[in-house]
Amino acid sequence: MHHANHYYGHSYVLARYCGFDADPPRIHGYLQHGWNIGDGLAPDHEFVPGIPAFVWSERTRRRAWSMGRRQVYVVGSPWAYLTALEPDEPSREREGTIWYPFHGWEGQHVEGDHDRLIAEIRDTEPGPVTVCLYWQEFRTPRVRRRYERAGFRVICHGYRGGWWKDLDPDFLSRQLAEQRRHQRVASNRLCSAVFYGVLAGCEPAVYGDPMQLRGERDLFGGRSRIRRQWAAMHGTQIDLDTARAVTVEELGADRTLSPAELRHLFHWPSETAA
């Protein structure tokens, strides 16, 4: 199994949905692990030609096909399955905003003015703010303490896992529980976390300095294309019906499969053999 299939516990969520209690069987193919505007696969990963790709949405499948990829299947996002596995409590009271600053990753660090972003968050958000940092920024005191000194609650959902080590099957469950505490979800870039928040019942916002990765290249049209193509998903106040419709399409929440269909595509044993 490609190690990225385990990112954020994705393979564990799908295995749980399919009735497996232990570690997930090997997925025969590559699973999309984050929202992107390309073919659904990470451009910095090497992929073996001819191996199937499992993407979140029909829009992504069409892009992958136009780029020459074949054997691409729409399965919906693991987040869509998780929200069905762990339904919300109708009586739950929500408060404030969970805010996701754009983050770097192990190979690149983010560059931007955190103080200016903090000021804009203060001026915009009507209630208490929880800032969720990526593990890399969370472990960087000079970044984390800026948000703490601003009076924000600062958290981290955890480490996504990598190269079959430090895997975290409960990553997405923690993120879902945290988002369901909040009325709003926001970021300075349109990203997976914003779409996740909408499906979790939050009101979305995308505003502020988008920052950038050191040496960042705008692949597949980059930031300008995102703002152009998903213009309705940007701003401090976004029409909720529009946001929900876009989110369902991007996360493939209307394209989830049955356990039997997923097991067939992934070459997993039948439920009775688990």
What HEC string does 163-204 produce? CCECCCCCHHHHHHHHHCCCCEEEECCCCHHHHHHHHCCCEE
User: What pLDDT is attached to residue 274?
Assistant: 41
Structure tokens at 55: 């993407």
Say if domain 97-251 classifies as CATH 3.40.50: yes
What residues pair up with 185 in beta bridges, in sequence order? 98, 204
Q: Pairing between strand 110-111 and 212-213?
A: antiparallel
Length of the chain in terms of residues written: 274
User: What pLDDT is attached to residue 165?
Assistant: 60
User: What pLDDT is attached to residue 96?
Assistant: 97
pTM confidence score? 0.92
Q: For the chain, 274 residues long, give each residue's pLDDT as a single digit of tens.
A: 577 888 889 999 999 999 998 789 999 999 998 999 888 887 666 667 788 999 999 999 999 999 888 899 999 999 999 999 999 988 789 999 999 999 766 555 677 789 999 999 999 999 999 999 988 888 888 889 999 999 999 999 988 766 556 678 899 999 999 999 999 999 999 999 999 999 999 999 999 988 876 566 666 657 888 999 999 999 999 999 999 999 999 999 999 999 999 999 999 998 544 4
User: What pLDDT is attached to residue 78?
Assistant: 97
Nearby residues of 142 by Cβ (< 8 Å), 6 or more positions away: none
Q: CATH 3.40.50 in the chain: give the residue spans.
A: 97-251
Q: Tell me which long-range contacts 258-264 makes (C-beta under 8 A, separation of at least 24).
A: 259/17, 259/18, 259/19, 262/14, 262/17, 262/18, 262/75, 263/18
